[in-house]
Chain A
């Protein structure tokens, strides 16, 4: 369901007109976000647009309009499934999926996301990787379900038991040998910015 945009009486009040530039600069490749012509091919190609607050096209219009808080509060990047349908169809070749990642990381920094399920899941996944160097599904699922879906634990536990019996899950994490090296790399990476 899409939410209509609020229309302030003076649209420039509170608008951050450098926001587009900031989002584009913080995206991995050359985002081409400035090239968006608002054609709506992205939203029309999106398999999960129905669950988004704003279609990608609307989100990009909000970014251009400097509606920083509204854009960072939108659930849109958290619903995005990274299927890249919009990316290959966009006539302006905007790196849409990567812009979604940028908006997510900005929303986390500004603590503006509405629902903590998705950011917590990503953070828990990353915690496992930073601890072991590998993903650890059992630990991830346990922590995630306890925190966010306690009522789903019985169902998840039965599926987990099936996965364990078929040796598709292990209760012990695997740790890489070069953990100290990975720690050092990530520690330095965290001190770096793409734009500075």
Chain B
């Protein structure tokens, strides 16, 4: 199996630690050799592009230049974060489409003794690499613990299937690749109609009501299909749906309780890893019921969780409730 240059992106060190942990735990078994790009910097997310164009592309360009310099046999950069993936791919694409942009970025990079030849790297998202390079047959052969009975909503979000400059996906709005991967893990995959709809991106920080409505739609759809978990491929999607699920529930008076996990965590479980090694326990909406469905012991609760009042068991029989009241604990 060939090697890859890994661009982890800022969130894998913080908000998406579970993604980082599960990725590194499955990389060996799947034969992925990942070499981190030395001293990479932030890609600017969706913020810098709206402030100042040339610095925004120069910021991305430094990463491309560092990767190209470090490339030794492998010229494939793999990014697990959808926003990072799109920014790197976009810079590479537009530097070719509009040569003046490429010239300007290289003028800026020259101030740091760097340069980048657009098109000299292949920029890919982790999901693409796992599905197309590792392959579903190989993954199927390595499944030790099929995720039978776990209903999973495959959720890609926006920036992997769109704009898709290199035409790598079967469809911009309803691609089937993630469904097939989860199917190979033995999971019960729902035909999730909102699989490429938006999680709100940075709007949770700017116009929370706008974001909550987008989050509500996704949770509602997954709930209608009785999904046990939503599987994501993006740190931003995971953060919005997981950490803002409570705020969304409070805003709309709903009571969704759907754990949001990275697809690499589900691969980890299927390969036989325990919950801790697959990064479970970091989610704000606990995945313990979902883990129970596939016979995995949940990680021990954190101190803060242990102090909290136990939540109602979703699997228990319905109990009579006072009209208008919460019902409360028996």
Contact = CB atoms under 8 A, between A and B. Distances in A.
Interface of A: 26, 28-30, 47-48, 51, 77-79, 81-85, 87-88, 97-98, 100-102, 104-105, 108, 117-119, 121-123, 125-126, 129, 133-135, 137, 141, 144, 152, 155, 159, 161-163, 165-170, 174, 176-178, 181-182, 184-190, 192-194
B57 A79 contact: no
Given A85-B162, A135-B10, A188 B51 contact: no
A81 B108 contact: no
Interface in B161-211: 162-164, 172-173, 197-198, 200-203, 205-210
A134 B111 contact: no
Most chain B Cβ neighbours within 10 Å, of A166, A184, A189? A189
B282 A192 contact: no
A102 B53 contact: yes
Given A79-B207, A174-B13, A182-B41, 20 more contacts: A28-B49, A28-B94, A29-B93, A30-B97, A85-B162, A87-B162, A87-B163, A104-B51, A118-B206, A126-B47, A129-B44, A159-B243, A161-B304, A166-B17, A167-B282, A168-B17, A182-B112, A188-B108, A189-B54, A190-B55
B205 A121 contact: yes
Given A81-B200, A155-B247, A159-B243, A185 B158 contact: no
Interface string B7-44: 00011011111000000000000000000000111101
Nearest to A132: B42
B50 A77 contact: yes
A192 B51 contact: no
A194 B54 contact: yes
B58 interface: yes
Contact of A82 (B17, B100, B158, B197): B158
A177 B303 CA distance: 35
Contact of A83 (B42, B59, B198, B217): B198
B288 interface: no
B7 to A, nearest CB: 12
B94 A29 contact: yes
Contact of A190 (B40, B54, B243): B54
B108 A122 contact: no
A85 B206 CA distance: 21
Contacts of B59: 129, 182, 185-186, 189
19 contacts: A28-B90, A79-B207, A85-B158, A87-B163, A88-B164, A88-B172, A122-B50, A129-B42, A129-B48, A133-B42, A162-B304, A163-B284, A170-B13, A178-B112, A182-B62, A185-B59, A188-B111, A189-B108, A193-B104
A170 B59 CA distance: 23
Interface in B89-139: 90, 93-94, 97-98, 100-101, 104-105, 107-114
Contacts of B304: 161-162, 165
Interface of B: 10-11, 13-17, 39-42, 44-55, 57-59, 61-62, 90, 93-94, 97-98, 100-101, 104-105, 107-114, 158-159, 162-164, 172-173, 197-198, 200-203, 205-210, 214, 217, 243, 246-247, 281-284, 302-304
Contacts of A126: 44, 47-48, 51
B173 A85 contact: yes
B243 A134 contact: no
A84 to B, nearest CB: 4
Most chain A Cβ neighbours within 10 Å, of B55, B101, B214? B55
A162 to B, nearest CB: 6
A170 B14 contact: yes
B210 A135 contact: no
A100 to B, nearest CB: 8
Contacts of A84: 158-159, 162-163
A129 B110 CA distance: 20
Most chain B Cβ neighbours within 10 Å, of A51, A84, A134, A176? A84
Contacts of A104: 50-51
Contact of B15 (A121, A122, A163, A187): A163
Contact of A177 (B39, B201, B210, B247): B39
A167 B17 contact: yes
